[in-house]
């Protein structure tokens, strides 16, 4: 077994509550440079010369076989050749451990895609407007309790001007139909990814997101990989830090001291800026249900939210 760094319980609770985990500059520069070189970015993203147009650039990279063409449903372990940059990336201890913690061993490759965001001048040349992507949820309506994970790999530094992926933390448990949420131009608490080279995001498949508009002079590259579990996602992380009183309830509302913000129950009941007054509480219930699934224990509750509405004495 290769070395892998499994997630801890607080990281899992963060993923449950907010739908993502962020690892800044976790991919070494040697892999970042190798990846950019393999897709034909010779001298870093500052070098845009020789690119004819948006469609032509996409077509050239696809035709180059720099990114392997892999059937959906392939074992992840068989998806990437070991010697290539993506093979090396997938073998990093942080990547192995995070994948195993979230979707388990033997997970399946769903699809991958290299997203390229072009600067203004490419759109001007084609008489098109340079705009951001509408907010959306990937794939289609998904009612599962199980979840897929999407890895977002940023092989070079992303500045605010470059329009890194925009996403809304905590939206992953909302059931919507893909681009039906396009009308929501801005949501309080939305984040625009600004990061150093080699940053990875691991996102729940349901998180609301969209590509930003690139207002810099440089092309922006982001590689996305979707992975699916083949095992129930229960206690796959390093659970050794789960406290003994994890199933016990805390005093609520009337308190003589502020609750510990790092307590897992606090993390699962922390509101997002965009939460509606009433449905924010439903988000707590849905997070608690996801944590029950991850824990494999239907007795779990945080701050009595589910116990209260399940209490029906005979």
Partner 1 sequence: MALRQQVLVLYLKSSALDTEVIGWANYDGTGETAHMAGDSDDPPYRTGIGALRDGWRLLQATPLAPHATGDEYRTSYLKYEFFFEKLVDADG
Binding-site ranges for partner 1 (CB under 8 A): 129, 131-135, 163, 166, 173-176, 180-188, 190, 192, 210, 212-213, 273-279, 282-283, 285-286
Burial class (CB in 10 A: 0-12, 13-18, 19+), 238: middle
Nearest approach in angstroms of CB 192 to partner 1 is 7
- Please name the residue that has the structure tokens 């990279």: 61
Nearest approach in angstroms of CB 70 to partner 1 is 30
CA-CA-CA-CA torsion sign (45, 50, 51, 57): negative
Pair of tokens at residue 275: 């939460």
For 56, 71, 180, the CA distances from 174, given in Å and listed in that order, are 37, 29, 12
In this structure, the number of other CB atoms found within 10 A of the CB of residue 310 comes to: 9
Q: Which residues contact 206 (CB under 8 A, 6 or more apart)?
A: 19, 137, 142, 147, 171, 172, 173, 174, 175
Nearer to partner 1, 14 or 166 (CB): 166
Nearer to partner 1, 8 or 133 (CB): 133
Nearest approach in angstroms of CB 130 to partner 1 is 9
In this structure, the number of other CB atoms found within 10 A of the CB of residue 65 comes to: 9
Nearest approach in angstroms of CB 272 to partner 1 is 9
Burial class (CB in 10 A: 0-12, 13-18, 19+), 137: buried
Nearer to partner 1, 33 or 281 (CB): 281
Nearer to partner 1, 69 or 131 (CB): 131
Nearest approach in angstroms of CB 92 to partner 1 is 30
Nearer to partner 1, 108 or 213 (CB): 213
Nearest approach in angstroms of CB 173 to partner 1 is 6
Nearer to partner 1, 51 or 282 (CB): 282
Nearest approach in angstroms of CB 256 to partner 1 is 29
Nearest approach in angstroms of CB 214 to partner 1 is 12
Crossing angle, helix 93-103 and helix 9-18, to 10 degrees? 60
The whole-angstrom separation of Cα 29 and Cα 32 is: 5
Task: Answer for the pair 155, 34: CB distance below 8 angstroms, yes or no.
Answer: no
Task: Answer for the pair 288, 305: CB distance below 8 angstroms, yes or no.
Answer: yes
Nearer to partner 1, 173 or 225 (CB): 173
The whole-angstrom separation of Cα 20 and Cα 147 is: 12
Q: Which residues contact 129 (CB under 8 A, 6 or more apart)?
A: 123
Nearer to partner 1, 174 or 250 (CB): 174
Nearer to partner 1, 96 or 306 (CB): 306
Closest by Cα among 70, 103, 302, 69 to 203? 103
Nearest approach in angstroms of CB 88 to partner 1 is 33
């Amino acid at each position: 077994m290769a070395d892998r760094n499994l997630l801890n319980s607080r990281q899992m609770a963060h993923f449950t509550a907010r739908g993502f985990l962020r690892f800044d500059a976790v991919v070494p520069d040697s892999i970042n440079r190798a990846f950019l070189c393999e897709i034909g970015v010779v001298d870093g993203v500052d070098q845009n010369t020789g690119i004819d147009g948006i469609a032509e650039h996409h077509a050239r990279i696809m035709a180059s076989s720099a990114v392997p063409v892999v059937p959906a449903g392939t074992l992840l372990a068989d998806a990437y050749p070991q010697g290539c940059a993506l093979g090396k990336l997938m073998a990093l201890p942080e990547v192995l451990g995070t994948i195993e913690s979230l979707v388990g061993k033997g997970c399946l490759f769903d699809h991958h895609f290299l997203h390229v965001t072009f600067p203004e001048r490419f759109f001007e040349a084609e008489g098109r407007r340079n705009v951001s992507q509408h907010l959306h949820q990937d794939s289609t309506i998904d009612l599962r309790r199980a979840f897929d994970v999407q890895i977002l790999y940023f092989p070079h530094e992303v500045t605010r001007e470059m329009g890194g992926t925009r996403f809304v933390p905590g939206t992953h448990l909302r059931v919507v139909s893909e681009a039906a949420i396009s009308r929501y131009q801005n949501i309080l608490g939305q984040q625009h990814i600004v990061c150093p080279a080699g940053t990875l995001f691991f996102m729940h498949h349901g998180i609301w997101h969209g590509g930003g508009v690139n207002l810099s002079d440089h092309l922006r590259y982001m590689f996305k990989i979707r992975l699916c579990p083949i095992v129930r996602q229960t206690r796959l992380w390093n659970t050794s830090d789960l406290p003994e009183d994890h199933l016990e309830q805390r005093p609520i509302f009337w308190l003589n001291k502020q609750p510990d913000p790092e307590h897992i129950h606090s993390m699962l009941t922390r509101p997002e800026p965009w939460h509606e007054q009433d449905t924010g509480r439903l988000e707590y219930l849905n997070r608690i249900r996801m944590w029950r699934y991850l824990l494999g224990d239907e007795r779990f509750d945080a701050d009595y939210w589910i116990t209260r509405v399940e209490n029906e004495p005979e």
